[in-house]
């Protein structure tokens, strides 16, 4: 096994672990609003399914109100061992998941190691499939070779994050978006690890080392099977009284049609449909101006929210962002 051989294409976002004490709200949000299949394991553990994998979201009780881990499905044992060898070769501790931890996530062969912003990175091989039929309001979700969606992270150290995902997963830059939100200029880098346009987005305030977002992830994304699923879940989010962050719109770069709801934990949840798939033989990175062709209007943001962003941004100056320098190399500056 050559540790330098690329693992690109063999890595897929597989599950997400969320720590929250707001179980009742999350139950309604995930099941009744977004329309996923829910399994209650016990008073402190709940899972959502999108497909025949036993677990796509694992919610456990705790105070973080945040994503605490992302799980990556690795296609085969050789690639799994190759990634493990890379992480170990950089002197970063790799911990084997216990049998119970693997069962909760519905996977075999579980490993974890530290990730950017304190989001633990987990890798696994074979997911456990369940014959139990899906009981959910959505007609279906797109997962498969593309993985289950994406995570978007705000960072004061975007070059280090690119370095990290390049070192560990051979992530490739798909494109950039320059955007101004609430008067703050952002540059967003979109990274892919397979045919999905991006599995990771990294947003940074231009020219200033501030992070305006409290949570480790700014938003998560899942992809619905049909346009009706977007429209109907949007309606349910609204009717059930959950906050909408961005109304329905279409992105400039991956052309995904989506909206963003606010989760009970505070970070946002994007429900999208029909993003483009990357053709590796022809793709060239470019920079788009603005995140949306149309729509994605910010809903109900008040002056208090704006002040909140500045307060959090100022606080982030005094609280350095957690990185994993050993896996970030010299960092990858923007092209």
Q: What residue ranges bind Fe ion (CB under 5 A)?
A: 221, 270
Position of minimal CB gap to Fe ion: 221
Which of 66, 270 has the CB closer to Fe ion? 270
Token pair belonging to 71: 């799980």
Q: Which run of H or of E encompasses 305?
A: helix 303-318
Smallest gap from Cβ 19 to Fe ion, in A, equals: 21
Which of 53, 221 has the CB closer to Fe ion? 221
State the pairing for strand pair 149-154/200-205.
parallel
Q: Which of 153, 94, 88 is nearest to 119 (CA)?
A: 153
What three-state secondary structure class fits 199? Answer: coil
Contact of 277 with 146, CB cutoff 8 Å: yes
Which of 160, 221 has the CB closer to Fe ion? 221
CA–CA dist 287, 302 (Å, integer): 30
Smallest gap from Cβ 275 to Fe ion, in A, equals: 9
Smallest gap from Cβ 271 to Fe ion, in A, equals: 10
Give the position of tokens 């619905």.
224
Smallest gap from Cβ 164 to Fe ion, in A, equals: 19
Which of 113, 165 has the CB closer to Fe ion? 165
Which of 69, 217 has the CB closer to Fe ion? 217
Q: Which of 44, 71, 45, 43 is nearest to 56 (CA)?
A: 71
What is the DSSP code string of 137-155? SSS-B--GGG-SEEEEEE-
Token pair belonging to 64: 């973080």
Which of 33, 104 has the CB closer to Fe ion? 33
Which of 104, 153 has the CB closer to Fe ion? 153
Smallest gap from Cβ 268 to Fe ion, in A, equals: 9
Smallest gap from Cβ 267 to Fe ion, in A, equals: 12
CA–CA dist 304, 310 (Å, integer): 10
Smallest gap from Cβ 291 to Fe ion, in A, equals: 9
Non-local (6+) Cβ contacts of 42 within 8 A are none
Which of 188, 324 has the CB closer to Fe ion? 188
Smallest gap from Cβ 142 to Fe ion, in A, equals: 14
What is the DSSP code string of 69-103? EEEEEESSHHHHHHHHHHHHHTT---EEPPHHHHH
């Amino acid at each position: 096994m050559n540790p330098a051989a690329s693992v690109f294409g063999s890595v897929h976002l597989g599950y997400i672990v969320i720590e929250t004490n707001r179980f009742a709200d999350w139950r309604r949000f995930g099941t009744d609003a977004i329309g996923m299949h829910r399994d209650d394991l016990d008073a402190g553990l709940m899972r959502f399914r999108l497909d025949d994998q036993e677990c796509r979201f694992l919610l456990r009780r705790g105070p973080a109100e945040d994503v605490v881990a992302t799980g990556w499905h690795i296609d085969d044992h050789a690639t799994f061992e190759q990634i493990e060898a890379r992480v170990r070769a950089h002197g970063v501790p790799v911990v084997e998941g216990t049998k119970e931890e693997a069962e909760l996530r519905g996977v075999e062969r579980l490993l974890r190691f530290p990730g950017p912003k304190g989001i633990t990175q987990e890798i696994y091989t074979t997911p456990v499939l369940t014959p139990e039929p899906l009981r959910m309001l959505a007609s279906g979700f797109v997962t498969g070779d593309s993985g289950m969606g994406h995570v978007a992270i705000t960072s004061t150290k975007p070059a280090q994050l690119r370095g990290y995902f390049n070192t560990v997963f051979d992530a490739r830059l798909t494109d950039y978006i320059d955007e101004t939100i609430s008067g703050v200029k952002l540059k967003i880098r979109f990274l892919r690890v397979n045919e999905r346009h991006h599995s990771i987005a990294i947003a940074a305030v231009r020219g200033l080392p501030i992070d305006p977002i409290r949570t480790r992830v700014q938003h998560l994304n899942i992809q619905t099977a049909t346009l009706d699923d977007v429209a109907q879940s949007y309606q349910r989010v609204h009717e059930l009284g959950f906050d909408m962050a961005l109304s329905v719109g279409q992105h400039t770069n991956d052309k995904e049609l989506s909206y963003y709801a606010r989760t009970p934990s505070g970070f946002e949840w994007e429900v999208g449909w029909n993003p483009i798939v990357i053709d590796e033989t022809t793709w060239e990175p470019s920079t788009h101006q603005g995140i949306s062709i149309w729509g994605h209007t910010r809903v109900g943001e008040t002056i208090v929210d704006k002040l909140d962003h500045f307060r959090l941004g100022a606080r982030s100056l005094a609280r350095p962002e957690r990185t994993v320098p050993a896996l970030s190399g010299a960092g990858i500056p923007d092209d």
